[in-house]
């Protein structure tokens, strides 16, 4: 392994930090690495695994004003690239406006999710509620050959070179980027059309918008999706002809908002509302009502006859009870644990003719952060790959492959003390079947103080990894990940090796 330190960022976090999401498996990094020809600890890197796995991370540099929440951490992206049976790794902080301003100041300048916006030293900022730092640490996708990182509460989209992870600037879309509302955490890319679908939300009417960016990186469609009030949608889905947006009955308490406080409350007496929005306009938005819940992540949607089939994770307990045990942190972070929220794979069927919605639970297992072979995005899929959560924590302790045709599931549990990342499905070069490919994830191993990249056969998750590769340093647990095939990345084919591509 050929390893080089390419950067270091000065951290002002306390040496004796005791915050549960800034220590242990969430210990942030300050070093930026570049490693070529990663050491293969076990197995072999498949020669037909070709492309990059990218993962975003909340990696704070400064303490919070008062109360740190992991969603406040500065964005850091990790990339592992595979070509010709070899792999390279790189990690970089995203050079957000907020990171640069705080680096200059040497301290935090904006209030986080668990703090009052009014306490922000800076008057400006980002986020649906305003006066927050856009840390761009939530998701990462690749569109038009560029990696885009996003912020959970709406902000800019930062453009990164998917190989070097250099920050190239912010999405502008020919000057049409919706700077007033930003873009939400989760956008969707449609590999068939090359489009990027997105939404945003805010505290002013109409409270939500939906838009489309073409393969040419220009905004081609942008419409209002009026809501009854400010809401907190996190994710969306799409089919061949529709985008699916949502109005879940968990939103900021309107009365507290008038006092400058932003506290989400669940309203079990209200329905979950699902919007079927024509992808390119032309027809009215159709709304459906379903059982009350909060859906953090959808997996996919597709059209079947008169119906839209929508899969996502239903929460039985969107507002977990405060048991009063375990102190402030345990109370604050009960919203992050899959077992507390009771997240289960669920299917909604929206009948476009009758206007009715029927729904069913697909499994009793508690999983979340579900992904699929992206070539099946918007089309009928059979497999969902998801993470299992460590009890009480925002940590992933295993992988599950849900087979939605047979209703069966295959599991791989990580050893105690080893935590995974959201996996990504990497179709094998020349693949013909939905599960003909690999699952890639990164680990944080607290037993051996190291991190690895694990590669699984997507059709044999329970068999354990086909290969384990060592990263230069133990990385922090993180958020969302994606896969981009080499052929979708400019410069990938022209280079003789991934290392050369890195230098292009
Ligand atoms: Fe998310």
Q: What is the DSSP string of 126-192?
A: BSTTSSB-----SEEEEETTEEEEE-TTSB--EEE-TTT--EEEE--TTTT--TTT-B-S--EEETT
Is the model's pLDDT at 501 over the cut of 80?
A: no
Q: Round to whole Å and give the CA distance between 146 and 463.
A: 34
- Kindly indicate the confidence band of residue 200, based on its pLDDT and cuts at 50, 70 and 90: very high
Q: 2-503: which CATH architecture? A: 7 Propeller (2.130)
| Residue 346 assigned ligand-binding role | no
Q: Tell me what pLDDT residue 504 has.
A: 46
Running DSSP on this structure, what letter comes out for residue 216? Answer: T
pLDDT in tens, 271-297: 999 999 999 999 999 999 999 999 999
Measure the CA–CA gap between 416 and 355, rounded to whole angstroms: 47
pLDDT of residue 45: 98
Structure tokens at 232: 């907190």
Give residue 152 CA to ligand 1 midpoint distance, Å: 7
Q: What is the pLDDT of residues 58-98, one digit of tens each?
A: 999 999 999 999 999 999 999 999 999 999 999 999 999 99
Say what percent of the chain tops pLDDT 70.
98
What average pLDDT does the chain have?
A: 96
Give distance in angstroms: CA of 153 to centre of ligand 1. Answer: 10
- Interval between CA 265 and ligand 1 midpoint (Å): 19
Q: How far is the CA of 156 from the centre of ligand 1 (A)?
A: 16
Summarised one tens digit per residue, pLDDT across range 232-273 is 999 999 999 999 999 999 999 999 999 999 999 999 999 999
Residue 221 counted as an annotated binding residue = no
Domains of the chain, by residue range, sit at 2-503
CA of 104 to the centre of ligand 1 (A): 29
Q: 151 alpha carbon to ligand 1 midpoint, in Å?
A: 9
User: In this predicted structure, what is the pLDDT of residue 333?
Assistant: 87
Query: Is 381 annotated as ligand-binding?
Result: no
- The answer to whether the bond into 179 is cis (omega within 30° of 0) is no
Q: How far is the CA of 138 from the centre of ligand 1 (A)?
A: 6
Confidence of residue 335 (pLDDT cuts 50, 70, 90): confident
In this structure, which long-range contacts are made by residues 279-283, counting pairs with CB atoms below 8 Å and at least 24 apart in sequence?
279/197, 279/212, 279/221, 279/238, 279/241, 279/242, 279/243, 280/212, 280/220, 280/221, 281/221, 281/223
Mean pLDDT of 42-46: 98
CA of 438 to the centre of ligand 1 (A): 22
Q: How far is the CA of 5 from the centre of ligand 1 (A)?
A: 30
Rounded CA separation 319/70 (Å): 18
How far away, in angstroms, is 3 Cα from ligand 1 center? 32
- How far is the centre of ligand 1, averaged over its atoms, from the C-alpha of 67 (Å)? 21
**Cα–Cα distance, 107 to 99 (Å, whole number):** 10
Q: How far is the CA of 245 from the centre of ligand 1 (A)?
A: 14
Question: What is the Cα–Cα distance from 124 to 409, expressed in whole angstroms?
Answer: 48
Q: How far is CA 226 from its chain centroid?
A: 25
Write out the H or E segment, with its range, that includes residue 26: none
Write out pLDDT tens, residues 478-499.
Answer: 999 999 999 999 888 776 655 5
How far away, in angstroms, is 43 Cα from ligand 1 center?
32
- Distance (Å) from CA 297 to ligand 1 centroid: 6
């Amino acid at each position: 392994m050929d390893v080089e330190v390419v950067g270091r960022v000065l951290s002002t976090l306390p040496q004796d930090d005791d915050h549960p999401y800034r220590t242990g498996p969430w210990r942030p990094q300050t070093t930026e690495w570049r490693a070529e020809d990663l050491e293969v600890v076990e197995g072999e890197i498949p020669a037909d695994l070709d492309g990059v796995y990218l993962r975003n991370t909340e990696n704070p540099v400064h303490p919070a004003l008062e109360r740190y929440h992991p969603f406040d951490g500065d964005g850091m992206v990790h990339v592992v690239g595979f070509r010709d049976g070899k792999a390279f790794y790189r990690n970089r902080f995203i050079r957000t406006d907020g990171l640069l301003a705080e680096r200059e100041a040497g301290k935090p300048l904006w209030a986080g999710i668990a703090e009052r916006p009014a306490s922000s030293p800076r008057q400006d900022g980002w986020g649906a509620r305003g006066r927050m730092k856009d840390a761009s640490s939530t998701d990462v996708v690749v569109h038009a050959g560029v990696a885009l990182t996003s912020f959970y509460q709406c902000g800019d989209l930062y453009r990164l070179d998917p190989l070097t992870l250099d920050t190239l600037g912010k999405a502008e879309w020919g000057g049409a980027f919706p700077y007033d509302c930003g873009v939400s955490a989760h956008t969707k890319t449609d590999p068939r059309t090359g489009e990027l679908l997105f939404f945003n939300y805010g505290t002013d009417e109409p409270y939500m918008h939906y838009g489309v960016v073409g393969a040419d990186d220009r905004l081609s469609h942008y419409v209002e999706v009026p809501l009854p009030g400010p809401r907190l949608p996190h994710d969306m889905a799409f089919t061949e002809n529709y985008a699916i947006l949502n109005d879940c009955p968990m939103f900021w308490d309107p009365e507290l908002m008038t006092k400058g406080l932003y506290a989400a409350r669940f309203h079990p007496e209200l329905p979950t509302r699902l919007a079927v929005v024509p992808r390119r306009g032309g027809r009215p938005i159709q709304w459906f009502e379903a059982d009350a819940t909060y859906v953090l992540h959808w997996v996919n949607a597709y059209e079947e006859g008169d119906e839209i089939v929508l899969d996502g994770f239903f929460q039985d307990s969107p507002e977990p009870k405060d048991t009063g045990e375990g102190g402030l942190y345990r109370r604050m972070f009960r919203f992050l644990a899959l077992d507390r929220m009771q997240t289960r794979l669920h299917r909604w069927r929206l009948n476009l003719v009758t206007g009715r919605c029927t729904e069913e639970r697909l499994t009793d297992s508690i999983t979340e952060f579900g992904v699929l072979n992206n070539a099946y995005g918007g089309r009928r899929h059979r497999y969902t790959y998801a993470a299992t959560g460590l009890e009480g924590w925002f940590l992933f302790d295993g992988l599950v492959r849900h087979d939605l045709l047979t209703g069966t599931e295959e599991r791989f549990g990580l050893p105690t003390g080893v935590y995974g990342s959201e996996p990504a499905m990497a179709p094998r070069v020349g693949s013909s079947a939905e599960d003909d490919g690999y699952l890639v994830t990164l680990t944080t191993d607290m037993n051996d103080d190291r991190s690895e990249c694990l590669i699984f056969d997507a059709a044999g998750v329970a068999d354990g990894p086909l290969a384990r590769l060592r990263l230069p340093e133990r990385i922090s647990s993180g958020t969302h990940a994606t896969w981009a095939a080499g052929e979708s990345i400019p410069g990938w084919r022209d280079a003789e090796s991934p290392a050369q591509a890195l230098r292009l």
